[in-house]
Copies of this chain bind each other. A is one copy, B any other.
Amino acid sequence: MQADKVWRIGVAGLGTVGAGLVKFIQERPDFAPGRARVEIVGVAARSRSRPRPVDISAYPWFDDPVALAKSPEVDVFVELVGGSDGTAKVAVETALAAGKAVVTANKALLAEHGLQLARAAEASGAPLLFEAAVMGGTPAVKMLREGLVGDDVDSVAGILNGTCNFILSEMERSGRSFAEVLAEAQRLGYAEADPTMDVGGFDAAHKVTLLAALAFGGAPNFAAAEVEGIDQVELIDLRLAHELGYRIKLIASATREEGGASVRVNPALVPLDHPLAQAGGSLNALFIEGRRIGRIFLQGPGAGAGPTAAAVAADIADVISGASRPVFQDRAERLSPLPPVDPHHRAGRAFIRLLVRDRPGVIAAVSEALAKAGVSIDSFLQRPVEDTGLVPIVLTTQPASEDAVRDAVDHIEALDAVVERPRMIRIART
């Protein structure tokens, strides 16, 4: 920390987070450790005139983020443009090549190009920090990158996408369908016009890819993540799961395995009294399991101007502290992408919902189909339904290989009395 140095910040991207950061620095210019001096020396965004909750007229304007990244006036380049490629990537590469510290909230960029960018950062000796990329203002990245290096982390699992968590909570609370709640979330600005990144599970997959790299000491390997979103979750699944003592959450998880890592995002049933089931609305929550430390639980807001800008500011403070660490846990030259593990050996419990014609012998046939696949039933629930002649049945399985469960679902689907492909949702290991 050089006592009298002024740290000159360039902010590219003035959406919610960028405007929040500018506002924070205006209110608290002394936020950095030891009150190091921080000044905004340039801003860039798509439109200069768009109304913003903060006055930016005092700052030099750049039409092009890349020009800002290149400016000799800038010590720390803050990238809040977004997107895994295009301008954001070029601007970050430009800043790193010029030896400037980069702070970003861009999970897609880091999850998809993390190794390449870590190489660029370490080649020029520039820090590349991304606290705001995961869990907004809740410092999960710092916890894994720095706080837990005195352990070997075996797994992380949690809720990393606030939009999906809001939609699932709201479906359950209001009894409305996925489509209705999504439309409302879009009206309220909680979901994007194109919601695919969120509801398709990709945003959570980017985030857990980064956490896996930090936790297990590899490079991010987004391509190897298995991703399933919440767009197929129906209200009836939430209701039946609840009757069985569970809540459905979009769970992002990463587990260290022999020879690699299993990184995945999928809807999963969590027991109602579990902390992840109790994290409602747009909260994020994360369990970290270490060999020596045991279990740590962390919960907080996953998005929003204040929290996310706070994470960016914390990274700026880290740059000012002069800390020199590899971007991930080891030097980029020694990192390789965490290889995925063969999913065929994985085991777990499952929730299976089917719709059958109400006729004698159906339950026996379903049980037989499961037995044929070597899957045992843990609980079974049949609800009386009026008129339609169709009965929803839901069951949970005992632990079985995922292949066996898929076989069982195939066998059940082939039954005469079963009118649609059964819906399978995993039960989270807790």
Residues of chain A whose beta carbon lies under 8 Å from any beta carbon of chain B: 1, 24, 28, 31-35, 131, 137-139, 142-143, 146-152, 275, 278, 290-301, 304, 306-307, 309-314, 316-318, 321-326, 329-331, 334
Which residue of B297, B298, B307 contacts A292 across the interface (Cβ within 8 Å)? Answer: B307
Besides A24-B292, A139-B146, 10 new A-B residue pairs in contact (Cβ under 8 A), listed by A number:
A24-B150, A33-B149, A33-B330, A35-B331, A137-B293, A139-B148, A148-B314, A150-B309, A297-B297, A298-B299
Residues A325 and B293 in contact in the complex (CB < 8 Å), given A146-B317, A311-B150: no
Q: How far is the CA of A292 from the CA of B17 in the complex (A)?
A: 12
The smallest C-beta distance from A148 to any residue of chain B, in angstroms, reads: 7
Residues A139 and B149 in contact in the complex (CB < 8 Å), given A34-B326, A298-B296, A300-B297: no
* Pair B314/A292 contact, Cβ less than 8 Å: no
Residues A310 and B322 in contact in the complex (CB < 8 Å), given A131-B147, A147-B142: no
Question: Can you report 13 A-B residue pairs in the complex whose CB atoms are below 8 A from each other?
Answer: A137-B293, A139-B147, A142-B146, A146-B317, A149-B313, A292-B310, A293-B301, A294-B307, A295-B301, A296-B300, A297-B299, A298-B299, A323-B323
Q: How far is the CA of A289 from the CA of B34 in the complex (A)?
A: 22
Closest B residue, CB atoms, query A325: B33
* Pair A152/B330 contact, Cβ less than 8 Å: no
The smallest C-beta distance from A413 to any residue of chain B, in angstroms, reads: 40
In the complex, chain B residues whose CB is within 8 Å of the CB of A321: 146, 323-325
In the complex, chain B residues whose CB is within 8 Å of the CB of A152: 28
Closest B residue, CB atoms, query A137: B293
Q: Which 3 A-B pairs have the closest CB atoms?
A: A150-B313, A139-B147, A292-B306
The smallest C-beta distance from A85 to any residue of chain B, in angstroms, reads: 28
Q: How far is the CA of A318 from the CA of B317 in the complex (A)?
A: 15
Which residue of B139, B301, B323 contacts A322 across the interface (Cβ within 8 Å)? Answer: B323
Q: How far is the CA of A150 from the CA of B317 in the complex (A)?
A: 8
Closest B residue, CB atoms, query A275: B275
In the complex, chain B residues whose CB is within 8 Å of the CB of A297: 297-300
Residues A146 and B292 in contact in the complex (CB < 8 Å), given A323-B323, A324-B1, A325-B33: no
Q: Which of A131, A146, A314, A324 has the most CB of B within 10 A?
A: A146
Q: How far is the CA of A34 from the CA of B330 in the complex (A)?
A: 4
Q: How far is the CA of A34 from the CA of B122 in the complex (A)?
A: 11
Q: How far is the CA of A322 from the CA of B323 in the complex (A)?
A: 5
